Structure 1
């Protein structure tokens, strides 16, 4: 397993940035990462996940990818309840609505990401493949509409 896959599959490592965001220091990630607050679909409890901003389409629209596919817990929670909160850059706990994108639009956005960040995509793709065990994993995209 490569280092990226090891990090992606080690719970404490992926959760490490959460307290940094919650303490108000999310700006240190320069807008590249965001903290997504969502509701557990069964528990109704607040849940948190840090995800890369794959695209900043506009100041109030950010696209993120579910590298573990449609079975990722945060993705399933957003499918059940699209209202969420986003902390990114200097903005904290901005109310948002999640729009789960279709397969074609998701693929087009992945292609655009790969064109803009080829080195990052090469590493990320290999890590996702290694972590999921899939040669061509489905990577659904989510557009987050932040309130102004």
Structure 2
């Protein structure tokens, strides 16, 4: 998946030391959860516009869960994020099961959002746009995801919009 999305001139670059380090860091739970207290305290703005905290609910426990992920695309009233660990990520599975989410960004806290899981083609299109807009970040992200997945990673996209109540 990731090779098809990168620039052909970049395809020859293999994963470097930082990519392998990032892949290992992504598996360290306490490290990945470090931004959550900042968002919960209303200090998410300190982390900029590239991150968002998603509050979701456990599939079985129905308890509140939190994850901070990178925003890959933003439009007016639309936020799209990538599930770097694919459809196996717990937060992704929870959203698929119950479709309930609240977003906290730098300027907004706990805003209810409608959830839409994009299909493979739509996800690939979003990732292509991301790769064009952020080529260096895409190279490192895709390399780290491929290493973490043990091969070509499928990176699904989740779209959040205002709820249609």
TM-score range, shorter chain: over 0.9
Runs of 5+ consecutive residues of structure 1 not aligned to the other structure: none
- Normalising by the residue count of structure 2, what TM-score does the alignment of the two structures yield? 0.85
1:96 is aligned to 113
What does residue range 95-134 of structure 1 map to in structure 2 within 5 Å?
Answer: 95-134=112-151
- Rg bigger for which structure? 2
Paired with 1:97 and 1:108, the residues of 2 have a C-alpha distance of 21
Offset of 1:146 from its aligned partner? 3.4
* Contact 1:39 1:45 (C-alpha < 8 Å) held by counterparts: yes
Structure 2 counterparts to residues 1-148 of structure 1, below 5 A:
2-58=20-76, 60-134=77-151, 136-146=152-162
How many pairs align? 145
Q: Partners of 1:29 and 1:146 in 2: how far apart?
A: 23
SS at match of 2:38: helix
Structure ranking higher in strand proportion: 1
After superposition, give the CA deviation of every residue in 1:62-105 in whole Å (9 maximum; x if it has no partner): 00001111111100100011121000111000011110001100
Which blocks of at least 5 consecutive residues in structure 2 are unaligned?
Answer: 1-18
CA RMSD for the aligned pairs? 1.1
Cα distance in 2 for residues equivalent to 1:46 and 1:146: 20
Q: Distance in 2 between matches of 1:6 and 1:84?
A: 28
Structure 2 distance, partners of 1:27, 1:70, is: 28
Deviation at 1:129, TM superposition (A): 1.0
* Runs (4+) off by over 4 Å: none
Deviation at 1:6, TM superposition (A): 1.6
TM-score calculated relative to the size of structure 1: 0.94
SS of the counterpart of 1:90? Answer: coil
